[in-house]
C-alpha cells in the first residue's frame, strides 16, 4: 500500500530501483473483479454515521490519485488495517462480520457509488430508484420492492449524484436541477434535486445489461414466439422502416438492440441517443450522443441537430434511440430519402397512439405543415409498428405487430399481422394468453421476396396459435 496510503499522515519512502524491479518481476496478474452480490448487504444501522466518519478520516490518509492503479484486493488489505486502527482510536467494538461489511462499504464510498454499489452488482436488479436518502426501491423481474439500502443524509446522496454526473462532464445544481447521464458501464441515469424534488433528491438508474439479450433469448423468455421472430428478421433484412412503441420499461431498447443484430456487417449504421445505451454488435457503427447546454446556456446539441448531421455521414441506416420532439420530422425525412431499414422507438400505449404522437412531434419541429401532409409523411416512411407492453405480472411481451398500408382520405391505414391475446390469470397471478396470427397477409411480403427472403405463407394463417 506504499503507493496510495499515507499511513498516519507520513508519506512512505520511495522504493529503491532494485526493489521496483523485483516487485515488477513478481507482480501477480490482476485479481478478479469484486464478487457479485445477489442480495444487498444489510445496512449498518446505527453504524451508518461511523462509516461516514471513518470514510472522512481515510481521505486524510489516502493518496486519491493512486487509487485507480491499485488492485481492489490490495487496497482492501491496506484499508482494513487502517480501519482497525481508527476503530481502536474511537473505542468502537465490531465483530468480524460487521468489520468486513464496514470495510466493503468504505471501499464502495472510495471507488464507487457508496450504498448503491451492491445494487449495481446484483444481476437480478434492472432498475434502482432512490426517493430521498432513506427510501430506495429496486425492480427485479419486472416487480418493484423496497430494500434496506440508505444514505446517511441528503448531503451524502447529493455527493453520490455529483460523482455520477461529473464523470460524464455534466452538472446538476439549483440553476440546473435535473440531468440525464450514464455510468461508465452504460447504465442510464436520471437525477432531479431541490427545489424540484420536494422530499429529497431523486435518482433513477436503468441498469445496463451485462449480457446482451438477443432475439433467441426474447423467444426463450416468452416475449414472442419463434414464428414472429422469423418475421422480424425478414423485416430487418428487407430494410423495412420500423417504429417500436411501448410504455416505460416495456423493453423498447432491448427489442431495438435485438432486432439490430440482423443488420448485415457491410452496412454503415449511425445511432443517435440522448444517453448512449444501445449495444449494436456490428463493426461499422457511428455512435452519436446529445450534449446539454453549458453553465452559460450555450453549446447544446439536440437529437434533431444530430439527425440532420447524420444525413451527411453517408449512413445506410439511422437508428434513433427514442424520438421525443422535432427530430421525428427529420427522422421521417431520412426514412423517405433512401435510408431504408432505419429504426426508432417511441412512448405510446397502442400502435395507433404511436402514430398520433409522431404527428404531434412533427408539429414540435416548428415547420408549418398541415395534418394531412404530416400523416402522409408518416404513412410513406414507417412500414412496421411493433407494440410492446409490460404486463401486470412484470413480464414484457410483444403485444402486436402491425403494418402501415397507406392513406384513406386523411387517415393512416394499418393492419395487424400478429397479436398477443390475454386470456386470464393462473393460480400464481401470472398473466396467461397466447400469440395468434390475424390471417392478414402483409404487403411487405412482396418486398421481402424481391430481396430473396422467403416467408412461408402458412405463418399468417388465422387458425394458427403461435404459443
- What pLDDT digit, counting tens, does each position of 137-190 carry? 999 988 899 999 988 889 889 989 998 888 777 788 888 898 888 888 878 899
This model's pTM is above 0.75: no
Show the DSSP H helices in 60-148 as ranges: 72-90, 96-111, 117-121
pLDDT of residue 299: 87
- What pLDDT digit, counting tens, does each position of 241-251 carry? 999 999 988 99
Beta-carbon contacts of residue 327 (< 8 Å; ≥ 6 apart) = 272, 302, 303, 304, 306, 307, 320, 361, 365
Q: What is the mean pLDDT of residues 55-72?
A: 64
pLDDT of residue 59: 62
- Alpha-carbon distance of 433 to 99, in angstroms, equals 51
Among 442, 443, 444, 436, smallest CA distance to 462 is for 436
Which three three-digit cell numbers place residue 143? Answer: 416487480
Q: Are 138 and 115 in contact (CB under 8 A)?
A: no
| 407, pLDDT greater than 60 | yes
Beta bridge partners of 182: 188
| 19, pLDDT greater than 50 | no
38 falls in which pLDDT band (50, 70, 90)? Answer: very low
- What pLDDT digit, counting tens, does each position of 312-342 carry? 999 999 999 999 898 999 999 889 888 899 9
pLDDT of residue 94: 77
Q: What are the strands of the beta sheet with 269-273, ordered from one edge?
A: 285-289, 269-273, 317-320, 343-347, 242-246, 384-390, 396-408, 411-425, 431-437
Among 125, 151, 128, 126, smallest CA distance to 38 is for 125
Sketch out the chain's domains with CATH numbers.
1-111 (no CATH), 112-208 (3.30.450.370), 215-460 (3.40.50.300)
Beta bridge partners of 147: 136
User: What SS3 class is residue 114?
Assistant: helix
Amino acid at each position: 500500500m506504499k503507493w496510495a496510503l499515507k499511513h498516519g499522515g507520513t508519506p512512505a519512502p520511495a522504493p529503491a530501483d532494485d526493489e521496483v524491479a523485483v516487485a515488477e518481476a513478481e507482480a501477480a496478474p490482476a485479481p478478479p473483479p469484486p464478487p457479485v452480490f445477489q442480495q444487498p448487504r444489510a445496512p449498518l444501522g446505527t453504524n451508518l454515521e461511523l462509516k461516514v466518519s471513518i470514510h472522512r478520516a481515510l481521505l486524510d490518509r489516502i493518496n486519491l490519485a493512486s487509487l485507480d492503479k491499485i488492485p481492489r484486493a490490495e487496497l482492501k488489505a491496506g484499508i482494513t488495517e487502517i480501519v482497525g486502527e481508527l476503530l481502536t482510536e474511537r473505542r468502537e467494538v465490531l465483530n468480524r462480520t460487521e468489520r468486513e461489511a464496514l470495510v466493503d462499504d468504505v471501499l464502495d464510498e472510495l471507488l464507487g457509488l457508496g450504498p448503491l454499489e451492491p445494487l449495481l452488482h446484483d444481476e437480478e436488479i434492472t432498475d434502482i430508484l432512490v426517493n430521498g436518502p432513506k427510501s430506495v426501491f429496486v425492480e427485479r423481474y419486472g416487480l418493484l420492492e423496497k430494500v434496506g439500502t440508505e444514505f446517511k443524509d441528503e448531503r451524502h446522496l447529493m455527493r453520490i449524484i455529483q460523482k455520477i454526473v461529473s464523470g460524464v462532464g455534466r452538472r446538476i445544481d439549483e440553476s440546473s436541477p435535473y440531468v440525464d447521464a450514464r455510468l461508465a458501464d452504460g447504465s442510464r441515469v436520471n437525477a432531479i434535486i431541490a427545489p424540484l424534488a420536494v422530499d429529497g433528491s431523486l435518482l433513477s438508474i436503468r441498469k445496463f445489461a451485462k449480457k446482451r439479450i438477443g432475439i433467441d433469448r426474447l423467444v426463450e423468455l416468452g416475449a414472442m414466439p419463434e414464428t414472429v421472430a422469423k418475421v422480424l428478421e425478414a423485416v430487418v433484412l428487407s430494410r423495412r422502416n420500423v417504429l417500436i412503441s411501448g410504455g416505460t420499461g416495456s423493453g423498447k431498447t432491448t427489442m431495438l438492440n435485438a432486432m439490430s443484430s440482423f443488420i448485415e456487417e457491410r452496412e454503415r449504421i449511425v445511432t443517435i441517443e440522448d444517453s448512449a445505451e444501445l449495444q449494436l454488435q456490428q463493426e461499422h457503427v457511428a455512435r452519436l450522443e446529445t450534449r446539454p447546454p453549458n453553465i452559460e446556456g450555450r453549446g447544446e446539441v439536440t437529437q434533431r441537430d444530430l439527425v440532420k448531421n447524420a444525413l451527411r455521414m453517408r449512413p445506410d441506416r439511422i437508428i434513433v434511440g427514442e424520438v421525443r420532439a422535432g427530430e421525428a420530422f427529420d427522422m421521417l425525412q431520412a426514412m423517405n430519402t433512401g435510408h431504408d431499414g432505419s429504426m426508432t422507438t417511441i412512448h405510446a400505449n397502442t400502435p395507433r397512439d404511436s402514430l398520433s404522437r409522431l404527428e404531434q412531434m412533427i408539429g414540435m419541429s416548428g415547420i408549418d405543415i398541415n395534418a394531412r401532409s404530416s400523416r402522409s409523411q408518416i404513412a410513406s416512411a414507417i412500414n412496421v409498428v411493433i407494440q410492446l407492453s409490460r404486463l401486470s405480472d412484470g413480464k414484457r411481451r410483444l403485444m402486436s405487430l402491425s403494418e402501415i398500408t397507406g392513406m384513406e382520405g386523411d387517415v393512416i391505414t394499418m393492419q395487424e399481422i400478429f397479436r398477443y391475446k390475454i386470456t386470464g390469470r393462473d393460480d400464481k397471478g401470472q398473466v396467461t394468453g397466447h400469440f395468434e396470427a390475424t390471417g392478414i397477409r402483409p404487403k411487405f411480403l412482396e418486398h421481402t421476396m424481391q430481396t430473396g427472403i422467403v416467408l412461408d405463407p402458412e405463418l399468417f394463417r388465422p387458425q394458427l396459435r403461435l404459443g
